[in-house]
Chains A and B, each alone.
Chain A
Amino acid sequence: MKEAIINHAQSAKQFNTDEARVNWHDETLWMVRSKRDKAAKSVEEWETLRSLASSVKEHTLSNLNEYLIEFEKQANKNGVKVYWAADAKEHNEIVLKIINEEKISKVVKSKSMLTEECHLNKYLEQNGIEVVDTDLGERIVQFRKEIPSHIVLPAIHLKKSDVSETFNQYLGTEKNNTDPQYLTSAARVHLREKFLSSEVAITGVNFAIAETGAVVVCTNEGNADMGVHAARVHIASMGIEKIIPKANHLGIFLRLLARSATGQPITTYSSHYHRAREGASMHIVIVDNGRSRQLANENFRNSLKCIRCGACFNTCPVYRRSSGHSYHNAIAGPIGSVLAPNMDKQKNYDLPFASTLCGSCTNVCPVKINLHEQLWKWRQLLTEEGYVSVGKKMMMKIMAFVLSYPLLYQIAGKSARFALTYFPFMLKIKKINPWYVNREMPQAPKQSFTSWYIQHKK
């Protein structure tokens, strides 16, 4: 039996030792999810937008190489230098080379999950570069030597008392002053100094427009723009899947992104970078790092449509009660669990099991990724390939059996209730949560399904 390096269930158990914190985490994320619902309902054509977004992405993936070439051509025309990185290592080397050529030692960075995926900070620091994360949540976790626990809300695992302690230690704020306004102001002053003294700004990319060669970055804090416009050099790192064909497609995606993420109608800043200003330079690093491999697999290629809104995290009962760090991957939550095994099956085989398969993620996803089906597919694949222990295998067999007999569903009633009753990895939210305690079967109610199964199986 192979075990993941740090198993999700184990870490989740640890997170669950502080009950008050878990409850807060759970409820707060549910509140964000509710805001998303309200925002979605306020847009009459919401479902049409989701379908359009999904179709645009589908088309783009089916023509991705052509669009990347077009994007590169346009960006070059704009005077932007474009680089290609096959993997994380090459990405980091390219970034370091640009920085070194400019003879710069201080860098500011705005939120980029790709650079987290590549462990860029560590690499740059080992090479004598000071990297400052400028998104407030990311700065907090950076001080604490942690990684973001959520792709949109990086410090959601922390309480204001934690932040207060951290800021007291690193920024000299008053001890025990936990006022978010006060703490945010302290960070503003601290980071303004960094913005003004850094000549390289690294950003992520939300969308890259093939038609015009632009990269679009969305933030609420304004940190990407403070960094980029104050610096001499802008480096934007993007995965190959960030491409959209035309500028007017942004209308669709920007209407969906912030509403899905936090329930805002749009982020405060949606910045479109086409050309560097006079005296400055702009560089775009296009990164594969396993994405073209994911594209080959028809079961999982849809995951490349993701626009990183975080809605699937906020709605996920397992994420809400286990927190991002349990996923031991730069991207947590349902989408992280779909992406991670493609990168390393041995390390991440446990993640597709960190789900109740309730399907809520699929329902909220603005680009209609069939997340829960992909998780289910991964479970089958990882089991077949021998990554999963015998106990889990039995469970899978039962589940496969049930799902292949629609009649059984009807007999058992609504699928959700059915699953809750018969599957140990279906959560009993709030009360005992068997998910965290190694997924034993709960007490079998009434007539045992297991015995029925054993009787009827061939």
Chain B
Amino acid sequence: MNSRQKILDNIEKNKPAFVSLPDTKNLFATGNENVVKKFSEVLESISSTVKKVNGWQDIPDEISGLKNNGNYVLNAVEEINNDREIIINKTKDELEKSDYVFIKGEIAVAENGAVWVTEKNAANRLLPFICRHLCLIIDSKNIVHNMHDAYEKIKIDETGFGVFISGPSKTADIEQSLVIGAHGALDLTVYIIQ
């Protein structure tokens, strides 16, 4: 008998009597909380920068500013002029040279500062992780109260890969001292479109 069948048979034999699944629809309905305020506060508490902008049209100015300072910027945001064609075809070694990266977030979560970024948003799966400075852009309309609301809104298998990103990469593995900037981005800026 192969292992698959052996494992499944053992489970069938050993599992407890059937217990029904609790209802988990519409958990903890959203109150009147100001989600933009809460989201910004949480982000700041996890070493991230929040910038409020009026619209997508403000993003190219930010990008030109960074470029003028000598930074290598890659922009994956479909709403504006972007570098998606270039990003898709870049090797990992080339991507590693990126200083700033701009990516649109689909949904953001007020309770924990997380932004849902899909493969489609990023153009290249490696991009949000390999860059030095990550810039995510979120429309304030797409900020929800908690994780339950977030999972109601997103379709997680729409693309092959999706990730909630909350803050810059970090570690406390050396004596529990918090160090911002581990293997992923060294810092995170979230632009909220008002």
Contact = CB atoms under 8 A, between A and B. Distances in A.
Contacts of A69: 8
Interface residues of B, number: 72
A252 B20 CA distance: 17
B113 interface: yes
Interface residues of A, number: 92
Interface stretch (B58-66, B68-76, B174-182): B174-182
Contacts of B50: none
A196 B93 contact: yes
Contact of B8 (A65, A140, A156, A213): A65
Nearest to B111: A265
Contact of B173 (A64, A84, A155, A230): A155
Contact of B15 (A61, A153, A191, A271): A61
A76 interface: no
Contact of B166 (A68, A137, A153, A268): A268
B56 interface: no
Contact of A221 (B17, B28, B148, B169): B169
A196 to B, nearest CB: 6
B193 interface: no
Nearest to A69: B8
Interface stretch (B78-86, B135-143, B157-165): B157-165
B126 A230 contact: yes
A181 B182 CA distance: 9
17 contacts: A48-B28, A55-B19, A64-B15, A136-B173, A184-B171, A188-B183, A213-B157, A220-B169, A220-B170, A221-B183, A255-B146, A266-B114, A267-B166, A269-B166, A277-B160, A288-B7, A301-B16
Interface of B: 2-4, 6-8, 10-22, 24-25, 27-28, 42, 46, 92-93, 96, 109, 111-114, 119, 125-126, 128-130, 146-148, 150-152, 156-157, 159-177, 179, 181-185
Interface of A: 28, 31-32, 43, 45, 48, 52, 55-56, 58-59, 61-65, 68-69, 78, 84-86, 90, 134-137, 140, 153-156, 158-160, 163, 180-181, 183-185, 188, 191-192, 195-196, 209, 212-214, 220-223, 225-226, 229-230, 240, 245-252, 254-255, 262, 264-277, 286, 288, 292-293, 295-296, 298, 301
